Amino acid sequence: MGRGEEGKIEELKRIQIECAKKVIKEDDFSSVETVGGMDLTFEKIDENPTKAWASLVVVELKSLRKVYDLVIEDVVTFPYIPTFLAFREMPLLLKLYEKAKVKPDVYFIDGQGIAHPRGCGIASHFGVETGEVSVGVAKTKLFGYYKEPDQKRGSYSYLKYKDQIIGAAVRTKEGSAPIFVSTGHRISLKTAIDLVLKTSKHRVPEPTRLAHNLLQSVRKRSLF
């Protein structure tokens, strides 16, 4: 990596550190009636630039019925660099957010919130940038350590780093691998876990599961 690239990486780190300082880690809202899931996929994940699609699916919390969805397509130009996912995916997520005619009370983002080396993964970045309530809902652990939770649905164990709680490994389906939940912005970890469990029929919560499925169908139609 040349000096120019090193300088750019240091600037990105600085942006993330500043973002982390703005994250509100407690409930900063009155009620939740709708939850939206956001996901993103690429035509060629290993190439840059590449065509990409982002989706939003909004469900009603009490019924988990889908009330709105939207998919947008664009070209992503920022390369994939571990722990800097937001800089690759955020422009498309922000475009999706701006175009959406329905804004949910809470956004589930397929990625990390504060469970990130610099405390600002894509879910926190999105929340701070938009001012919306956001939760990081990830299928894999990026950062920290945890003990495997009990197999029973609803069990969880805290994800920690240097004895600080940064998220939780949550068992959303008995016998399935846990998912990793962390505060994005304007929500406590306790409430984030509660909302994830309330919206989960399968391993992945319905908002992000439906957003993922919608993307896969759109991507398939575009490629064939």
Mean pLDDT by 10 residues, the chain (224 residues): 72 97 98 97 87 97 98 94 94 98 98 98 98 98 97 97 97 96 98 98 98 91 67
Q: What is the pLDDT of residue 4?
A: 62
Residue 47 confidence (pLDDT): 81
* Whole-prediction pTM: 0.95
8 A C-beta contact, residue 117 and residue 83: yes
Question: 110: helix, coil or strand?
Answer: coil
Q: Contact 84/111 with Cβ under 8 angstroms?
A: no
DSSP 30-85: S--SEEEEEEEEESSTTSSSEEEEEEEEEEETTT--EEEEEEEEEEE-SPP-TT-H
Buried b / exposed e across 139-160, counting CB within 10 Å, b at 16+? eebbbbebeebeeeeeebebbb
CA distance linking residue 91 with residue 97, whole number of Å: 10
Domains of the chain, earliest start first: 3-223 (3.30.2170.10)
pLDDT (0 to 100) of residue 221 = 80
